[in-house]
Amino acid sequence: MALYKSLTVNENTKVLIWKIEESFNELNKNVLLTENSQARLDSMKSELHQRGFLSVRHLLKEAGYSDTDLIYDEFGKPHLKDGKFISITHSFTFSGLIISDDLHVGIDIEKQRDKILKIAHKFTPIEEYRTIANSDALVSKLTIVWGAKESLYKIYGKKKLLFLHHIYIEDFKFEDEKTSGEIRYEGKATSYNIQFLEFEGFTCVYAY
């Protein structure tokens, strides 16, 4: 079992990514779960989701935490008992988390799929991307935009935000590997830094 990537965002903020190659039984070893977490694990129909859930507990261990250090609020947003900020993501064979001492953070990992072309109009003004002729590049760009919006949605942590109307992502070049975004809601605008990377057909985006 091994960590796939460890990224230092700044001296107080880090990102950890796990590639899920282990079996359920391997991942289930040496992991202590709270009663609530065990019930959640038992209720999952898909072994892929179970393995994702357990891989996140291994990432917590890498960061010096255990499942008992994690609590969820009424909106399902995770928090750490010591007051540090955390965000968690899981997609197919990858999971990730971002932890910061002092910054609100969000993270999302997505598999790059053509399906995003069909739903793009629901989360971004698609006409902004009509100039991208290459289909793969368009999928890649839209996946980053989706991941960025998902990351900001997780930071906000309540259910009312609409991706299309309340979350704005500044246009970017792939080679920059970063952009910025804003949550615009109820007359307030809050700005965040966004960084992204691609690996093995997946996109990871994190915001802070």
Q: Which domain holds residue 22?
A: 3-102
Over 80: is that where the pLDDT of 130 sits? no
Confidence of residue 1 (pLDDT cuts 50, 70, 90): low
Q: Are residues 59 and 124 in the same domain?
A: no
| Whether residue 199 sits in one domain with residue 113 | yes
What does the pLDDT look like over 71-108, one tens digit per residue?
Answer: 999 999 999 999 999 999 999 999 999 999 999 999 99
**129 and 164 in one domain?**
yes
One domain for residues 23 and 79: yes
Condensed to tens digits (0 to 9), the pLDDT of residues 21-31 reads: 999 999 999 89
113 and 201 fall within a common domain: yes
CATH number at residue 161: 3.90.470
- State the chain's mean pLDDT as an integer: 95
- Are 126 and 188 found together in one domain? yes
Quick one: 130 and 88 in the same domain? no
Residue 55 pLDDT:
97
pLDDT of residue 28: 95
Shared domain check, 69 and 139:
no
Residue at a domain's end among 102, 119, 148: 102
Q: Which of 77, 102, 127 is the last residue of a domain?
A: 102
Q: Which amino acid is at 143?
A: T
Total structural domains in the chain? 2
User: Which of residues 66, 87, 102 is at a domain's end?
Assistant: 102
For 157-175, the pLDDT digits (tens) are 988 899 999 999 999 999 9
Model's pTM, two decimal places? Answer: 0.95
24 and 98, same domain (yes or no): yes
So what's the pLDDT on residue 30? 87
CATH number at residue 45: 3.90.470.20
Are 203 and 141 members of one domain?
Answer: yes
